[in-house]
Amino acid sequence: MTKQTIAFLGTGLMGAPMARNLLKAGHDVVVWNRTREKAEALTADGALLAESPAEAASGADLVITIVSDGKAVADLLFSQDVAKAMQKGATFVDMSSITPQEARDHAERLAAAGIDHLDAPVSGGTRGAEAATLAIMAGGEEPCFERAKPVLEALGRPVRVGPSGAGQLAKLANQAIVAVTIGVVAEATLLVESGGGDPAAFRDALKGGFADSTILQLHGRRMSEGDFTPGGKSSIQLKDLNNIIAEASSLNLALPLSEAVRTRYRALVEEMGGGDLDHAALYRQLKEREQDLS
By CB under 8 A, tell whether 224 contacts a second copy: no
Q: Does 248 bind a second copy (CB under 8 A)?
A: yes
Comparing CA positions, the residue from 171, 168, 145, 169 lying closest to residue 158 is 145
Q: What is the CB neighbour count within 10 angstroms for residue 160?
A: 21
**Number of Cα atoms under 13 Å in the Cβ half of residue 285:** 26
Interface with a second copy in residues 112-141 (CB under 8 A): 123-124, 133, 135-137, 139
Number of residues that bind a second copy (CB under 8 A): 77
Q: Tell me: does residue 254 bind a second copy (CB under 8 A).
A: yes
289 in contact with a second copy (CB under 8 A):
yes
Closest approach, Cβ 153 to a second copy, in A, equals 14
One-letter amino acid for residue 82 of the chain: V
Q: Does 290 bind a second copy (CB under 8 A)?
A: yes
Strands 91-94 and 116-119 turn out to be parallel
Indicate whether 244 belongs to the interface with a second copy (CB under 8 A).
yes
Handedness of CA 129, 12, 102, 54 (dihedral sign): negative
Q: Does 208 bind a second copy (CB under 8 A)?
A: yes
**Using the rule CB under 8 A, is 225 a contact of a second copy?**
no
Is 24 a residue of the active site?
no
| Rounded Cα–Cα distance for residues 73 and 96 (Å) | 8
Kindly tell me which of 44 and 293 has the beta carbon lying closer to a second copy: 293
Contact residue for a second copy among 76, 215, 268, 280 (CB under 8 A): 215
Residues 80-119 that bind a second copy (CB under 8 A): 100
State the DSSP string of 115-162: -EEEE--EESHHHHHHHT-EEEEEES-HHHHHHHHHHHTTTEEEEEEE
Separation in Å, CA 106 to CA 53, 57, 175, 217: 17, 16, 23, 39
Options 5, 80, 181, 224; binder of a second copy; rule CB under 8 A: 181
CB of 188 to a second copy, least distance (A): 4
Helix (H, G, I), strand (E, B) or coil at 233: strand
Q: Which of 174, 217, 230, 276 binds a second copy (CB under 8 A)?
A: 174
Q: Which residues have a catalytic role annotated? A: 171
